[in-house]
Amino acid sequence: MILFNNFKKRYRLNKKEIIKVMDRIFSSGNFILGKELDKLEKKLSKLFNIKHVIGVSSGTDALFLALKALGITEKDEVITTSHTAVPTISAIRQTGAMPILIDINVDTYNIDVELIEKKITKKTKAIVLVHLYGYPAEILKIKSLAKKYGLFLIEDVAQSFGAKYNNKFLGTFGDISCFSFYPTKILGTFGDAGAVVTNNKALGDKLRALRHYGEVGRNNSVYEGYNSRLDEVQAGLLSFGLTKLARLNKERNQLAKIYLNELKGLPIKLPLSSSKKIKRVWHLFVIQTSKRDKLQQYLTKHNIQTGIHYPKPIHLQKCYNFLKLKNSDLPVVSKISKEILSLPLSPELTVKEIKYVCLKIREFYEK
């Protein structure tokens, strides 16, 4: 079986190093807000050349705390994409704010920048910009819009760790940017973890307080805070993951190139590659085809596991019925949600396995 993600194999391949990390942490007797987290935050700060990195318990919490640090409340509206994982929206709703969903660009699957301005109202306070699948959104145009209307810009970089726009890392354009280190991500750990980053000292200090009961100094809660700390175990594993990141991204690129070459000419829409101004990363390899369901069934029959990111748009989720959006309000995301298919692309896969997936896709269309 070709698995979409093979965490057992990942553990086997790195077992010696993982055990070494775990032994170091457990032997220290320190599991919360210790040296491992401090080391990870400094490494990420250096990598992205950003002043403040705050490790938190998940990518969802990263978004929520970012919004809270910016003072977003139930009186506000937050613009974001309609094509994203539910956590993007749930983080907004945790503040009480109203998410304003925008349709997507047909080629990039990211928010359609041309549709944003008409949705800005007096209640709009922020834009949560999701860089989906490893491909950057039109960050400079959106940043310009945010500046024009005095809006906060929050980057959701959960799926695009290491991607660049104009040779500058995603996550360094916004007022605050948020990362997820969930196991499936480009930089993933063996549990939940996330980080918030900013160059603003006041925001950085507030975020550190918010993740730990709102404390500024021991037992001195200045804010109504939360328990959202990135623990030492996950921090240590992520520091180890950073040492392999360049090699693993190179392997992802090689596998993606095989897909792009082998599937060329078939009646499917292939994802965009990097360009002069865009350096993408391959978190997911998403194709689009009108025969999505039949193709997925065929691949499953041949022991190939695939995914759909995402099969049910936010506006069709029962819990968001209050948004009162119809498919006709978001025509692009409504259409592509029925046609997109994510092919296996984890670095644990071999060239032989990827070529087998390509073979079966070609067979499907020949039949």
Return the percentage of the chain with pLDDT > 70, whole number.
Answer: 100
Residues 70, 179, single domain; the answer is yes
Q: How far is CA 4 from CA 181, 337, 345, in A?
A: 17, 19, 7
Pair type for strands 152-156 and 176-180: parallel
pLDDT for 131-169, tens place per residue? 999 999 999 999 999 999 999 999 999 999 999 999 999
Tell whether 183 and 276 lie within a shared domain: no
What average pLDDT score do residues 302-318 get? 97
- The CA-based dihedral angle spanning residues 113, 320, 150, 71, taken in that order and rounded to the nearest 10 degrees: -150
| Amino acid making up residue 366 | E
128 with 221, same domain? yes
Q: Say if 172 falls within a structural domain.
A: yes
Average pLDDT, the chain: 97
How many structural domains is the chain composed of? 2
Tell me how far apart the alpha carbons of residues 315 and 334 are, in angstroms, rounded to a whole number: 9
Query: 50 and 171 share a domain?
Result: yes
The closest alpha carbon to 175, from 138, 202, 194, belongs to 202
Q: What is the mean pLDDT of residues 120-137?
A: 98
Average pLDDT estimate for 60-72: 98
pLDDT band at 202 (very low <50, low <70, confident <90, very high): very high
**Which pLDDT belongs to residue 367?**
86
Q: Residues 191, 254: one domain?
A: no
The token pair that represents 78 in the structure block: 């937050």
Alpha-carbon span 183 to 173, nearest angstrom: 25
Asked if residue 265 and residue 327 are part of one domain, the reply reads yes
Q: Are residues 255 and 219 in the same domain?
A: no
Residue 6 to residue 3: CA distance in whole angstroms: 6
Which residues, at least 6 apart from 194, have a Cβ–Cβ distance to it below 8 Å? 55, 56, 57, 58, 59, 60, 61, 62, 158, 178, 179, 180, 181, 230
Residues 72 and 177 in one domain: yes
Residue 107, classed as helix, strand or coil, is coil
Contacts (Cβ under 8 Å, ≥6 apart) of 154 = 63, 66, 67, 70, 126, 127, 128, 129, 174, 175, 176, 177, 178
Residue 68 included in any domain: yes
Q: Using CB atoms within 10 A of its CB, is residue 201 exposed (0-12), middle (13-18) or buried (19+)?
A: exposed
- Note the pLDDT tens digit of each residue in 67-96: 999 999 999 999 999 999 999 999 999 999
Residues 295 and 321 in one domain: yes
* Type of residue numbered 213: Y
Residue 253's pLDDT is 97
Radius of gyration of the chain, Cα coordinates, nearest whole angstrom: 21
Average pLDDT, integer, range 264-293: 97
CA distance 197 to 173: 10
Q: How many residues are recorded in the chain?
A: 367
2 within a domain of the structure (yes/no): no
Angle (nearest 5°) at CA 314 between 308 and 316: 95
Residue among 287, 290, 281 at smallest CA distance from 259: 287
Q: Residue 253: give its domain's CATH number.
A: 3.90.1150.10
Instruction: State the residue range of the domain holding 297.
Output: 245-366
Q: How far apart are CA 196 and CA 228, in angstroms?
A: 11
Looking at the structure, tell me whether residues 213 and 252 fall in a common domain.
Answer: no
Domain boundary among 186, 218, 239: 239
Asked if residue 35 and residue 122 are part of one domain, the reply reads yes
Q: What is the CATH number of the domain that holds 233?
A: 3.40.640.10
